[in-house]
Amino acid sequence: MAWRTRGRRGDALEELIDLTNTYYKDHQFARVDKISTPVTVIDVNERSQITLGYYEKKSTVDYIGIAQGVAICFDAKETNLLSIPLSNIHSHQLEYMQDFAKQGGISFLIVHFKRSNDYYLVPLEIIEEIINVGKRKSIPYSAMKKAIPIGFFHDQYLNYLAAVNVYLQNKQAAERD
C-alpha cells in the first residue's frame, strides 16, 4: 500500500493520546510509546516532505507501554460513524493483541466516536466476542455499554489510565466469581 493513500485517519485522537502520554511520562504514571510503521521512502519533494513511500512491513498496534507495572498495548480508532468497521482492525493487529494478552499484558482499543464526542476503552475480549459471532462487520455503538468510558483530566488529557484501572478491577472481580 502506498503511504500517500492511507490519509490521516485518527490523527486528532493520536495527537490527544500523544499529549496524554507525555503527561503520564513526565509525572511517572506510565511510559507508553507510539509505534511507528517503517516506511521505505521513494520520493521526496523540494520541502523534504515524503510524497511517495511504501510500508516495509505490517505494523503491530499504535501504542505499547507499561503503566504501574502493567504491560499495555492498544490501537487508536476514530470514526464519524456509529460503529467501528472490523475492517479497520487488521488481522495482524488482532493477532498481536492476542499474543500480548497471552503473555499477561492488557490489549484494547481506544475509540473516539466523533458524532457524540465519546471516548471508550474497548477491551480485547469485546472485540473477540463480536468477531466470533461472525455476523457483524463492525463494532456497533451499542457495544460500548460493555466498554469503559474515558473522560478527561485537567480539561486536556484523555484519562485512559483510569479506564485501564476500571478494566483491571472488573477483570479481577470476574475472576473471583
Q: How confident is the model at residue 55 (pLDDT cuts 50, 70, 90)?
A: low
**How far is Cα 147 from Cα 77, in angstroms, rounded to an integer?**
14
Residue 157 has pLDDT above 80, yes or no: yes
Give the residue-averaged pLDDT of 60-74.
Answer: 95
Q: How far is CA 173 from CA 121, 167, 168, 169, in A?
A: 18, 10, 9, 6
Span 129-144, pLDDT tens digits? 999 887 789 999 999 9
Q: Which domain holds residue 68?
A: 3-176
Domain of 55, CATH number, reads 3.40.1350.10
Provide the domain count of the chain. Answer: 1
Span 75-101, pLDDT tens digits? 999 999 999 999 999 888 999 999 999
Q: How far is CA 68 from CA 29, 71, 75, 171, in A?
A: 6, 8, 19, 17
